[in-house]
Amino acid sequence: MSGINTIILEIRAGAGGKEASFFAADLAQMYSKYAEQQGWKVSMLDESRDELNGYKEVVFEIGGLGVYEKLKNESGVHRVQRIPTTEKSGRVHTSTASVAVLPEIPEEKVEIKPDELEITFTRAGGPGGQNVNKVETAVRILHKPTGIIAACQSERSQQRNREKALKILQAKLSEFKREKEHGQIADERRQQIGTQDRSEKIRTYNFLQDRITDHRIKKSWHNIEKVMKGGLDPIIKKFSQLS
Protein backbone atom coordinates (compact mmCIF):
# COMPACT_ATOMS: atom_id res chain seq x y z
CA MET A 1 0.00 0.00 0.00
CA SER A 2 3.00 2.27 -0.28
CA GLY A 3 1.47 3.96 -3.34
CA ILE A 4 -1.60 5.19 -1.45
CA ASN A 5 -1.64 8.99 -1.52
CA THR A 6 -4.99 9.70 0.16
CA ILE A 7 -6.01 8.62 3.67
CA ILE A 8 -8.86 9.00 6.11
CA LEU A 9 -7.52 10.02 9.54
CA GLU A 10 -9.82 9.51 12.52
CA ILE A 11 -9.02 10.85 15.99
CA ARG A 12 -11.25 10.00 18.92
CA ALA A 13 -11.10 11.01 22.60
CA GLY A 14 -10.70 7.98 24.87
CA ALA A 15 -10.32 7.62 28.64
CA GLY A 16 -9.89 10.78 30.66
CA GLY A 17 -13.00 12.91 30.19
CA LYS A 18 -12.50 16.55 29.19
CA GLU A 19 -8.71 16.25 29.14
CA ALA A 20 -9.01 13.40 26.61
CA SER A 21 -10.99 15.65 24.28
CA PHE A 22 -8.36 18.40 24.64
CA PHE A 23 -5.66 15.86 23.80
CA ALA A 24 -7.63 14.70 20.75
CA ALA A 25 -7.72 18.34 19.61
CA ASP A 26 -3.95 18.62 20.20
CA LEU A 27 -3.34 15.52 18.06
CA ALA A 28 -5.60 16.91 15.33
CA GLN A 29 -3.54 20.11 15.30
CA MET A 30 -0.26 18.13 15.32
CA TYR A 31 -1.20 16.06 12.27
CA SER A 32 -2.70 19.07 10.46
CA LYS A 33 0.49 21.08 10.94
CA TYR A 34 2.67 18.15 9.90
CA ALA A 35 0.56 17.69 6.77
CA GLU A 36 0.88 21.41 6.03
CA GLN A 37 4.68 21.17 6.32
CA GLN A 38 4.63 18.22 3.90
CA GLY A 39 2.59 20.19 1.39
CA TRP A 40 -0.37 17.81 1.71
CA LYS A 41 -4.00 18.82 1.35
CA VAL A 42 -6.10 18.48 4.51
CA SER A 43 -9.91 18.50 4.53
CA MET A 44 -11.99 18.18 7.69
CA LEU A 45 -14.84 15.79 6.90
CA ASP A 46 -16.64 15.45 10.22
CA GLU A 47 -16.24 16.66 13.79
CA SER A 48 -17.94 16.39 17.15
CA ARG A 49 -16.86 18.84 19.85
CA ASP A 50 -17.65 19.01 23.55
CA GLU A 51 -18.80 22.11 25.44
CA LEU A 52 -15.17 23.18 26.08
CA ASN A 53 -14.36 22.95 22.35
CA GLY A 54 -12.30 19.78 22.62
CA TYR A 55 -12.83 16.97 20.13
CA LYS A 56 -14.95 13.96 20.94
CA GLU A 57 -14.14 12.83 17.41
CA VAL A 58 -12.74 14.35 14.22
CA VAL A 59 -12.25 12.89 10.74
CA PHE A 60 -9.86 14.30 8.12
CA GLU A 61 -9.10 13.45 4.53
CA ILE A 62 -5.39 14.00 3.83
CA GLY A 63 -3.96 13.80 0.33
CA GLY A 64 -0.36 14.01 -0.80
CA LEU A 65 2.67 12.08 -1.96
CA GLY A 66 3.56 9.27 0.48
CA VAL A 67 0.92 10.20 3.04
CA TYR A 68 -0.08 6.63 3.93
CA GLU A 69 3.49 5.37 4.10
CA LYS A 70 4.46 8.17 6.48
CA LEU A 71 1.41 8.11 8.76
CA LYS A 72 0.44 4.42 8.84
CA ASN A 73 2.39 3.85 12.08
CA GLU A 74 0.37 6.54 13.88
CA SER A 75 -2.56 4.12 14.24
CA GLY A 76 -3.33 3.14 17.81
CA VAL A 77 -3.96 4.54 21.28
CA HIS A 78 -1.95 7.62 22.26
CA ARG A 79 -1.59 8.47 25.96
CA VAL A 80 -0.86 11.85 27.50
CA GLN A 81 0.42 12.64 31.01
CA ARG A 82 0.22 16.29 32.02
CA ILE A 83 -1.40 18.82 34.34
CA PRO A 84 -4.56 20.04 32.54
CA THR A 85 -5.20 23.78 32.35
CA THR A 86 -8.48 23.10 34.17
CA GLU A 87 -6.69 21.34 37.08
CA LYS A 88 -6.43 23.69 40.08
CA SER A 89 -4.60 21.37 42.47
CA GLY A 90 -1.68 20.69 40.13
CA ARG A 91 -2.44 16.98 39.83
CA VAL A 92 -1.10 15.08 36.81
CA HIS A 93 -3.80 13.48 34.66
CA THR A 94 -3.43 10.49 32.34
CA SER A 95 -5.75 10.47 29.32
CA THR A 96 -5.94 8.80 25.94
CA ALA A 97 -7.05 9.41 22.38
CA SER A 98 -7.13 6.91 19.53
CA VAL A 99 -5.92 7.39 15.97
CA ALA A 100 -6.95 5.34 12.94
CA VAL A 101 -5.23 5.77 9.57
CA LEU A 102 -7.26 4.30 6.70
CA PRO A 103 -6.06 4.25 3.08
CA GLU A 104 -8.70 5.63 0.72
CA ILE A 105 -9.82 2.91 -1.67
CA PRO A 106 -11.04 3.45 -5.27
CA GLU A 107 -14.82 3.05 -5.53
CA GLU A 108 -14.67 0.19 -8.04
CA LYS A 109 -12.75 -1.98 -5.56
CA VAL A 110 -15.48 -1.92 -2.92
CA GLU A 111 -18.98 -3.18 -3.66
CA ILE A 112 -21.66 -1.54 -1.55
CA LYS A 113 -25.28 -2.48 -2.11
CA PRO A 114 -27.75 0.41 -1.70
CA ASP A 115 -30.17 -1.71 0.36
CA GLU A 116 -27.41 -2.31 2.93
CA LEU A 117 -27.20 1.39 3.73
CA GLU A 118 -29.18 3.49 6.18
CA ILE A 119 -28.64 7.16 5.33
CA THR A 120 -29.74 9.99 7.61
CA PHE A 121 -29.45 13.75 7.15
CA THR A 122 -29.03 16.38 9.87
CA ARG A 123 -28.07 20.01 10.17
CA ALA A 124 -24.32 20.49 10.18
CA GLY A 125 -22.73 21.65 13.41
CA GLY A 126 -19.48 23.47 14.06
CA PRO A 127 -17.81 25.83 11.55
CA GLY A 128 -19.47 26.69 8.28
CA GLY A 129 -21.71 29.62 9.02
CA GLN A 130 -25.46 30.03 8.86
CA ASN A 131 -25.78 28.84 5.27
CA VAL A 132 -24.56 25.40 6.28
CA ASN A 133 -26.87 25.19 9.27
CA LYS A 134 -30.13 26.26 7.59
CA VAL A 135 -30.68 22.95 5.82
CA GLU A 136 -29.95 19.31 6.58
CA THR A 137 -26.65 18.98 4.73
CA ALA A 138 -24.76 16.68 7.14
CA VAL A 139 -24.84 13.01 6.13
CA ARG A 140 -24.48 9.89 8.28
CA ILE A 141 -24.32 6.46 6.64
CA LEU A 142 -24.75 3.16 8.51
CA HIS A 143 -23.62 -0.03 6.77
CA LYS A 144 -26.18 -2.39 8.28
CA PRO A 145 -24.37 -5.74 7.76
CA THR A 146 -21.22 -4.61 9.62
CA GLY A 147 -22.49 -1.76 11.81
CA ILE A 148 -19.77 0.52 10.40
CA ILE A 149 -20.71 4.22 10.38
CA ALA A 150 -19.34 7.04 8.22
CA ALA A 151 -20.31 10.70 8.34
CA CYS A 152 -19.47 13.99 6.65
CA GLN A 153 -20.61 17.57 7.23
CA SER A 154 -17.83 19.64 5.67
CA GLU A 155 -19.51 20.46 2.36
CA ARG A 156 -22.34 22.89 1.71
CA SER A 157 -24.42 20.45 -0.31
CA GLN A 158 -26.03 17.27 0.88
CA GLN A 159 -24.89 15.47 -2.27
CA ARG A 160 -21.20 16.33 -1.75
CA ASN A 161 -21.34 15.26 1.89
CA ARG A 162 -22.97 12.00 0.81
CA GLU A 163 -20.18 11.37 -1.71
CA LYS A 164 -17.49 12.00 0.89
CA ALA A 165 -19.24 9.89 3.52
CA LEU A 166 -19.34 7.03 1.01
CA LYS A 167 -15.58 7.43 0.47
CA ILE A 168 -15.01 7.07 4.21
CA LEU A 169 -17.29 4.04 4.30
CA GLN A 170 -15.43 2.45 1.39
CA ALA A 171 -12.11 2.86 3.22
CA LYS A 172 -13.51 1.34 6.40
CA LEU A 173 -15.14 -1.57 4.58
CA SER A 174 -11.97 -2.27 2.65
CA GLU A 175 -9.99 -2.56 5.90
CA PHE A 176 -12.74 -4.74 7.35
CA LYS A 177 -12.68 -7.06 4.34
CA ARG A 178 -8.89 -7.21 4.17
CA GLU A 179 -8.53 -8.20 7.80
CA LYS A 180 -11.34 -10.72 7.54
CA GLU A 181 -9.61 -12.36 4.58
CA HIS A 182 -6.47 -12.71 6.71
CA GLY A 183 -8.49 -14.76 9.18
CA GLN A 184 -8.56 -12.12 11.93
CA ILE A 185 -11.72 -11.76 13.98
CA ALA A 186 -11.62 -7.98 14.42
CA ASP A 187 -11.07 -5.51 11.61
CA GLU A 188 -7.93 -3.38 11.60
CA ARG A 189 -9.78 -0.24 12.49
CA ARG A 190 -11.07 -1.80 15.70
CA GLN A 191 -7.56 -3.03 16.49
CA GLN A 192 -6.17 0.43 15.89
CA ILE A 193 -8.72 2.12 18.11
CA GLY A 194 -8.65 -0.67 20.68
CA THR A 195 -10.52 -0.32 23.93
CA GLN A 196 -9.13 3.20 24.46
CA ASP A 197 -8.00 2.08 27.90
CA ARG A 198 -4.99 3.86 29.42
CA SER A 199 -2.96 0.64 29.50
CA GLU A 200 -3.48 -0.12 25.80
CA LYS A 201 -1.13 2.36 24.21
CA ILE A 202 1.40 2.73 21.42
CA ARG A 203 2.86 6.07 22.53
CA THR A 204 3.03 8.24 25.64
CA TYR A 205 3.37 12.04 25.66
CA ASN A 206 4.79 13.01 29.07
CA PHE A 207 4.75 16.79 29.30
CA LEU A 208 6.35 17.03 32.75
CA GLN A 209 9.40 15.09 31.59
CA ASP A 210 9.35 16.65 28.10
CA ARG A 211 9.44 13.18 26.60
CA ILE A 212 7.54 11.21 23.95
CA THR A 213 7.99 7.44 24.10
CA ASP A 214 6.89 4.97 21.45
CA HIS A 215 6.36 1.69 23.27
CA ARG A 216 6.47 -0.48 20.14
CA ILE A 217 10.09 0.35 19.32
CA LYS A 218 11.12 1.46 22.85
CA LYS A 219 12.40 4.80 21.60
CA SER A 220 12.02 8.27 23.18
CA TRP A 221 12.24 11.84 21.87
CA HIS A 222 12.34 15.22 23.63
CA ASN A 223 11.16 18.75 22.73
CA ILE A 224 7.51 17.73 23.03
CA GLU A 225 6.18 21.22 22.24
CA LYS A 226 7.90 21.16 18.84
CA VAL A 227 6.45 17.73 18.06
CA MET A 228 2.95 18.85 19.01
CA LYS A 229 3.34 21.74 16.55
CA GLY A 230 3.89 19.31 13.70
CA GLY A 231 7.53 18.35 14.25
CA LEU A 232 6.90 14.66 13.67
CA ASP A 233 9.81 14.08 11.30
CA PRO A 234 12.16 12.39 13.84
CA ILE A 235 9.44 9.87 14.76
CA ILE A 236 8.31 9.26 11.18
CA LYS A 237 11.91 8.82 9.99
CA LYS A 238 12.71 6.34 12.75
CA PHE A 239 9.85 4.09 11.66
CA SER A 240 10.85 4.37 8.01
CA GLN A 241 14.36 3.17 8.93
CA LEU A 242 12.88 0.11 10.59
CA SER A 243 10.51 -0.87 7.79
Tell me what the mean pLDDT of segment 139-165 comes to: 89
Q: Residue 8 pairs with which residues in a beta bridge?
A: 61, 102
End-to-end CA separation in angstroms for the chain: 13
How confident is the model at residue 34, as a pLDDT? Answer: 97
For the chain, the structural domain boundaries read 6-104+193-242, 108-181
Of 234 and 49, more confident: 234
Q: What are phi and psi of 17, to 5 degrees?
A: 60, -135
| Contact in structure between 224 and 207 (CB atoms under 8 Å) | yes
**What pTM did the predictor assign?**
0.78
User: What is the architecture of the domain spanning 108-181?
Assistant: 2-Layer Sandwich (3.30)
CATH of 6-104+193-242, one of 3.30.70.1660, 3.90.1150.10, 3.30.750.24, 2.60.120.380: 3.30.70.1660
CA 135, 138, 143, 146 dihedral sign is: negative
As a whole number of angstroms, the distance between CA 171 and CA 105 comes to: 5
